[in-house]
């Protein structure tokens, strides 16, 4: 972070957006490989003003003011499609359609938590992953000292979501899970087993129902992939 950038995340989720990893290195924006203008590639804020970079070509990218808020956002995150910008303010998750006309008001979702941490976005669409800490009546207890949970939340076009509103939020099974990889439709989490060992689990978030016969029944469950010494790298391929 710099003095005037509250947060900056690349389109989709890069490794530096995940749990327990160091801050991102400086980001260099380069021209796309094709002659077509690229979608939104970067989101950042200067105080209470939220900007995106889009329309990148060989001559550079266009800076666009998206909205001005009463307070500076705590975190910013672009979805994998590059269409939706999300941010956290207090215990609220806000989102705005970057394809909407200028002046469109953001959509607000209240979250029953004292602290929310945006972790990343699935690469294939408009699902984000976040961590929340439950409410506590003891003001001396910090969020990091309490148990937390992982959630996936659909933040895209409401008309494009084929299920009821309750299905837009997926709670990952209870446990001390940390995100290690984000794919197009799934994510991989890990759980410490102690003594330098850990287990990896697959979590279905937005399965392809035509190709994944177990997908609908296992959304949000942690399915054991492997266990052993601490893993150094995990990659979810596009399939």
Note the pLDDT tens digit of each residue in 8-18: 333 333 334 45
* Residue 19 pLDDT level (bands cut at 50, 70, 90): low
pTM: predicted TM-score of the whole model, two decimal places:
0.78
Residue 148 has pLDDT above 60, yes or no: yes
Q: What is the pLDDT of residues 24-76, one digit of tens each?
A: 666 565 554 555 555 778 899 999 999 998 887 777 788 999 999 988 888 89
**CA nearest to 178, candidates 112, 238, 131, 220:** 131
User: What is d(CA 179, CA 170) in angstroms, rounded to the nearest whole number?
Assistant: 15
Higher pLDDT, 239 or 49: 49
Higher pLDDT, 128 or 176: 128
Which residue, among 21, 17, 18, 24, has the nearest Cα to 2 in the 3D structure?
A: 24
Give the tens place of pLDDT for each residue, 187-234. Answer: 999 999 999 999 999 999 988 877 777 677 888 899 999 999 998 888
Percent of the chain clearing pLDDT 90 (strictly above): 31
Q: Which of 19, 138, 13, 156 is nearest to 84 (CA)?
A: 156
With tokens 């003011």, the residue in question is: 65
Cβ contact 43:51 at 8 Å:
yes
Q: Three-state DSSP class for 54?
A: strand
Q: For the ranges 108-112, 146-150, 153-157, which has the lowest average pLDDT?
A: 146-150
**Which residues share a beta bridge with 181?**
188
Distance (Å, whole) CA 88 – CA 126? 16
Q: Give ∠ CA 181-186-191 in degrees, rounded to 5.
A: 50
- Mean pLDDT within 160-183: 86
- Strand, helix or coil for residue 143: helix
């Amino acid at each position: 972070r710099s003095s005037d950038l509250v947060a900056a995340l690349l389109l989709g989720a890069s490794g530096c957006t995940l749990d327990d990893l160091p801050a991102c290195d400086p980001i260099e924006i380069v021209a796309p490989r094709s002659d077509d203008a690229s979608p939104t590639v970067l989101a950042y804020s200067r105080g209470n003003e939220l900007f995106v970079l889009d329309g990148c070509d060989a001559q550079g990218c266009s800076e666009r003011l998206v909205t001005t808020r009463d307070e500076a956002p705590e975190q910013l995150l672009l979805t994998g499609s590059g269409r939706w910008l999300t941010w956290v303010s207090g215990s609220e998750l806000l989102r705005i359609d970057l394809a909407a006309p200028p002046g469109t008001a953001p959509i607000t979702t209240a979250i029953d938590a004292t602290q929310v941490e945006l972790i990343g976005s699935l690469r294939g669409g408009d699902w984000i992953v976040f961590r929340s800490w439950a409410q506590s009546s003891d003001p001396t207890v910090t969020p990091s000292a309490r148990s937390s949970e992982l959630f996936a939340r659909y933040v895209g076009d409401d008309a494009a979501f084929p299920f009821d509103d309750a299905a837009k939020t997926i709670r990952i099974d209870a446990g001390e899970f940390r995100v290690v990889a984000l794919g197009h439709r799934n994510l991989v989490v890990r759980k410490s087993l102690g003594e330098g060992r850990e287990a990896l689990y697959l979590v279905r978030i937005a399965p392809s129902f035509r190709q994944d016969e177990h997908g609908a029944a296992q959304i949000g469950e942690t399915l054991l992939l492997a266990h052993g010494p601490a893993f150094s790298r995990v990659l979810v391929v596009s399939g």
